[in-house]
Amino acid sequence: MKRLDNLGVSAFFESMAMMAQSGIQTDEAIGLLAESASDKKDSGVLETGLSSMKTEVESGSSLSAAMEKSGIFPQYAVEMVKTGENSGRLESVMFRLSKYYTELHSMNQKLRSAVIYPAVMLILVIAVLAVMVTAVLPTFSEVYESLTGSLAASSYGYIRWAFIFSWAALIIMSLALAALIVGLILWKCGKRGIVEAVLRRIPVFAELFDTMGLYRFTSALSTYLASGEMQDEAVRMSIPMTQCAAVEEKLAKCVKRMEDGHSIAQAAYDESLFEPVYGRMLLAGERSGNMESVLERLVQLLDINSGALVDKLVGTIDPVLSGILMATLGISLLSVMLPLIGIMNAVG
Give the pLDDT mean for 164-192. Answer: 83
Q: CA–CA separation, 72 vs 337, rounded Å?
A: 62
Distances (CA, A) of 256 to 203, 260, 319: 28, 7, 45
pLDDT in tens, 208-254: 888 888 888 888 888 788 777 788 888 888 888 887 888 888 999 99
pLDDT in tens, 49-92: 888 888 888 888 888 888 888 888 888 888 888 888 887 888 88
Q: CA–CA separation, 216 vs 47, rounded Å?
A: 29
Q: What angle do CA 330, 333, 336 make, to 5 degrees?
A: 145
pLDDT in tens, 309-334: 877 877 777 787 777 777 777 777 77
**Amino acid 150: pLDDT:** 44
User: Is pLDDT above 60 for 154?
Assistant: no
| Helices (H) then strands (E): counts for the chain | 15, 0
* CB of 102 closer than 8 Å to CB of 95: no
Give the pLDDT mean for 96-100. Answer: 84
